[in-house]
Structure 1
């Protein structure tokens, strides 16, 4: 492998901009060998704006010996074929969330990368916020004591124009609505901090505020493998949108992780904060957040590939959060408690 990681990029839609800015910032360690997308006009605009070479065919990038890995930014319904193409060519894969629209399809992608012995990373950039990392470190060092209660609140807003884009908020293209498209980031971070969920009981719905196929509202309760209990609220119908938060009640402190900051309210009366205030894309502009988290995630993936190590976010991590989302949906449709394997 060369000093720089040779990277192919597939897709240049709305989610591509923070990746592009991150790749520009990482030009000392990553060489973007080419960008491919089906929409030719959008591709040319994107490549011109960020100074990346255009590739007419994904197959040419997969065959390029200078390409070590691929970053896949397509909608969920278009990812599997590209994963198969590049993994079969021995290229490592970094994929936007979710891996696919269903757990079964996501499992096939994870197995495909295993079969071809390539590294699979998934874009869950919220783990790379400074506040998230500070909280994860303190939990790992047992500074906070046991987690007893968890509250996840995602009161986001998307206007109807967002869902008027063909396929958005549909099962055929996206695999669902607020859970798999928006809340999945916070739920992944929650699982990274708390460990797995053992059971859920939930309700999902589509409010009259949106015209869309899938859900824009989800609420429920969770039981964790560590004995904690928790609640979940997620929506894209809460105008004008507020930052998402994760709150933990621990033996030694109450913790609030919100807007890029974490606040520790210790039982002895002390209050500490870490991180920096940041917009998180919860309002009318879905892309209103810094690119730093993407930069650090991509850098971590590149280092993992070079050192033949596991990246910070793996395919198995992506399966865990997607199984939780599936359990929430099943609980709602069957109106019952759903157990998860832990």
Structure 2
């Protein structure tokens, strides 16, 4: 392997923009060997816009010896076959969230990559915000003391035109609605701070604001394995949309993450802030956020491949948020408190 990672990019839709901007800034580390989408028009437009080489045959791209890894940005229903193809050629995998539409299918991908002895990373870029990293450090060092209460809120807005795209908000293509498509980022970040959830009692619904198959509203209360308790609210029916937030009430102070800023209110009266304010795509424009977090995540993945160790966000870690979402949905269907399945 050369100093630069040879990368194939598959899937060139709306979600590809921040990846492309990040890759333009990582050319000293990553060599984009080819970009593929089923639509020839989309391929030509993407490659012309960002100056990357076009790939017209995904099989040839997978067999290219100069390709070390795959960046996969397709919808969830198009993941398994492509990961099987590239992993079968010993290519490492970095895939957009969610891993797949169901926890069972996501676990199949994790097992497939493990059996092929390739790294599997997942794009949970919110972990790479400066404010998120500052909070993780405070948590790891024990500065805030024991966490007692958690509040996760994702009050986003999507107009009906967003869900008018064929398959969006369906179980067949996306695996669900607001939980697996939008709130999954905040829930993953929450779990990275708190550890696993033990049980949840929740309600999911589709409001009159949207014509869609899956939920645009979810709310519930959770019990963490640590003994902490918390609440979750997620919706794409909250006009005009606001930034997602995470709040942690701990023995030595409370910490709030919102819009890329961490605010810590210490019990001794001090107030500290970390990070800088940034948009997060909570309003009508789903892509209204910077690409810096994607850049840090992709750079971490490339470094991990070169060094031969796992990336910061692995497929196995991603299963935790999949299991939580599955439990939330199951609780809503049953009307009962539901245990989160352990890995």
TM-score when normalising by structure 2: 0.99
Match of 2:300 in 1: 300
How many pairs were matched up? 342
* Runs of 4+ with deviation above 2 angstroms: none
Partner residue in 1 for 2:91: 91
Match of 1:179 in 2: 179
Aligned counterparts of 2:39 and 2:15: Cα–Cα separation in 1: 15
CA distance in 1, matches of 2:189, 2:181: 14
- CA distance in 1 between counterparts of 2:11 and 2:153 reads 31
Counterpart for residue 113 of structure 1? 113
Return the offset for 1:3: 1.1
Instruction: Map Cα deviations across residues 73-120 of structure 1 (whole Å, 9 max, x no partner).
Output: 000000111100000000000000001000111111000000000000
Judge which range, 38-47 or 178-187, deviates more: 38-47
Tell whether 2:241 aligns with 1:277: no
Q: How far apart are 1:318 and its partner, in Å?
A: 1.1
For structure 1, list consecutive stretches of 5 or more residues without a partner in the other structure: none
Are 2:267 and 1:267 equivalent residues in the alignment? yes
**How many angstroms apart in 2 are the aligned matches of 1:99 and 1:341?**
17
The Cα of 1:341 is off from its aligned counterpart by 3.7
Runs of 5+ consecutive residues of structure 2 not aligned to the other structure: none
Quote how far apart the aligned CAs of 1:130 are. Answer: 0.1
1:105 is paired with a residue of what secondary structure?
Answer: helix
Look up the match of 1:7.
7
Q: CA RMSD in A?
A: 0.5
Spell out the pairing of 1:312-323 with structure 2 (5 A cutoff).
312-323=312-323
| Displacement of 1:222 | 0.3
Q: Secondary structure at the match of 2:62?
A: helix
CA distance in 2, matches of 1:334, 1:245: 28
Map Cα deviations across residues 223-267 of structure 1 (whole Å, 9 max, x no partner): 001100000000000000000000000000011100000000011
Q: Normalized against structure 1, the TM-score is what?
A: 0.99
Alignment deviations for residues 242-301 of structure 1 (CA, whole Å, 9 cap, x no partner): 000000000000111000000000111110000000000000000000000000000000
* Residue deviations 1:288-326 (CA, integer Å, cap 9, x gap): 000000000000000001101110100011111011000
Tell me, in whole angstroms, the C-alpha distance in 1 between the residues paired with 2:202 and 2:274.
32
Partner residue in 2 for 1:290: 290
